[in-house]
């Protein structure tokens, strides 16, 4: 296990369960966001994302869920994701321990080929939980979105006395539309399941205040810590893979090099001036 700290932002390279158990004080974290391996066979830099049985995956998940809840302050919030097929198990497990306030669907479109013989998966579920439904942070004013129906059509709500125009802004519902991180986006890093900055902005703005501590035990490209820093929060990120930790050191702690190795973002194919540039197919006349 290695630990890097700079300006209130801590990065651990190590196993999430061990670091949570041994390094994080109980009742110390304001907001935890967890985007773990989904047990669907992704390749995390050579580390397989597939457990021998569903039961062994779930038992592993329950071990870090319990630890996260132990580390969360009594007024803290817990957001957790996993694949559509495993989220029902998380839901049943968590509803005995915390209040599940929202079952969020992060919905996105895809230009790529999806399933042809069934309906392709175009969303990822997120559970938003709190320990105490009478004492938790929810900054609704910070996350308002445009209220499209009513206001956009300049309708008047005649059920109100006196009648009033519809609100132009509202607190988002539980279906969130954010584009997935694509190769051409400036935030893109070399990781198979990077989460969008916009998704973490909504969560961190809503469920924490400046100066609060935000923890992500499976940090990947450290999107959570990056956004936490941008919004004036403190952060703790844990990640097992050394290459992904290097992304975090560059992205969050702005390190230029470590042990003599330069920490630069890999140039995109179209940014380099070499023969590997993408060429467009031009049909012969």
Q: By the criterion CB under 6 A, which residues form the site for ligand SAM?
A: 15-16, 35-37, 44, 47, 191, 193-195, 218-221, 223, 238-241, 244
The enclosing H or E element of 93 equals helix 87-94
Nearer to ligand SAM, 1 or 269 (CB): 1
Nearer to ligand SAM, 106 or 218 (CB): 218
Rounded to a whole number of angstroms, the minimum distance from the CB of residue 238 to ligand SAM is: 5
Q: Please give the structure tokens belonging to residue 111.
A: 């230009």
219: nearest Cα among 201, 231, 198, 236? 236
Degrees, nearest 5: CA angle 127-245-21: 55
Which backbone phi and psi does 93 adopt, to 5 degrees?
A: -65, -45
Is 50 in contact with 41 (CB distance < 8 Å)? yes
Is 223 in contact with 198 (CB distance < 8 Å)? no
Rounded to a whole number of angstroms, the minimum distance from the CB of residue 94 to ligand SAM is: 19
Nearer to ligand SAM, 116 or 184 (CB): 184
Nearer to ligand SAM, 47 or 50 (CB): 47
Pairing of the two strands 261-262 and 72-81: unpaired
Rounded to a whole number of angstroms, the minimum distance from the CB of residue 147 to ligand SAM is: 29
Q: Which position's Cβ is nearest ligand SAM?
A: 220
Rounded to a whole number of angstroms, the minimum distance from the CB of residue 247 to ligand SAM is: 8
Nearer to ligand SAM, 37 or 76 (CB): 37
215: nearest Cα among 203, 142, 105, 42? 203
Instruction: Report the alpha-carbon distance of residue 217 to residue 33 in Å, rounded.
Output: 8
Instruction: Report the alpha-carbon distance of residue 31 to residue 202 in Å, rounded.
Output: 13
Rounded to a whole number of angstroms, the minimum distance from the CB of residue 178 to ligand SAM is: 12
Rounded to a whole number of angstroms, the minimum distance from the CB of residue 239 to ligand SAM is: 5
Nearer to ligand SAM, 124 or 212 (CB): 124
Instruction: Report the alpha-carbon distance of residue 161 to residue 184 in Å, rounded.
Output: 50
Rounded to a whole number of angstroms, the minimum distance from the CB of residue 133 to ligand SAM is: 26
Q: Please give the structure tokens belonging to residue 268.
A: 């995109």
Nearer to ligand SAM, 77 or 219 (CB): 219
Is 71 in contact with 216 (CB distance < 8 Å)? no
- Residue 125 CB neighbours (<10 A): 19
Is 172 in contact with 102 (CB distance < 8 Å)? no
179: nearest Cα among 80, 106, 267? 106
Rounded to a whole number of angstroms, the minimum distance from the CB of residue 265 to ligand SAM is: 14
Nearer to ligand SAM, 46 or 285 (CB): 46
């Amino acid at each position: 296990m290695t630990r890097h700290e700079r300006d209130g932002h801590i990065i651990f390279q190590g196993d999430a369960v061990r670091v949570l158990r041994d390094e994080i004080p109980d009742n110390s974290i304001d907001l935890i966001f967890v985007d773990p391996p989904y047990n669907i066979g992704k390749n995390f830099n050579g580390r397989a994302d597939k457990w021998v049985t569903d039961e062994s995956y779930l038992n592993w998940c329950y071990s870090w869920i319990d630890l996260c809840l132990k580390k969360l302050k009594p007024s803290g919030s817990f957001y957790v994701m996993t694949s559509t097929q495993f989220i029902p198990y998380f839901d049943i497990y968590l509803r005995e321990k915390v209040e599940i306030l929202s079952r969020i669907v992060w919905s996105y479109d895809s230009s790529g080929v999806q399933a042809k013989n069934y309906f392709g998966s175009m969303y990822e579920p997120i559970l938003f939980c709190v320990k105490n439904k009478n004492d938790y942070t929810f900054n609704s004013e910070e996350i308002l979105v445009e209220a499209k129906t009513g206001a956009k059509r300049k309708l008047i709500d005649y059920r109100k006395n006196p009648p009033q125009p519809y609100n132009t802004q509202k607190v988002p519902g539980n279906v969130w539309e954010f584009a997935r991180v694509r190769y051409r986006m400036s935030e893109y890093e070399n990781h198979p399941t990077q989460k969008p900055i916009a998704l973490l902005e909504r969560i961190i703005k809503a469920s924490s205040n400046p100066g609060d501590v935000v923890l992500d035990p499976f940090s990947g490209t450290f999107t959570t810590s990056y956004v936490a820093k941008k919004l004036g929060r403190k952060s703790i990120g844990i990640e097992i893979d050394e290459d992904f930790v290097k992304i975090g050191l560059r992205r969050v702690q702005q390190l230029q090099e470590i042990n003599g190795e330069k920490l630069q973002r890999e140039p995109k194919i179209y940014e380099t001036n070499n023969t590997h540039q993408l060429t467009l197919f031009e049909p012969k006349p």
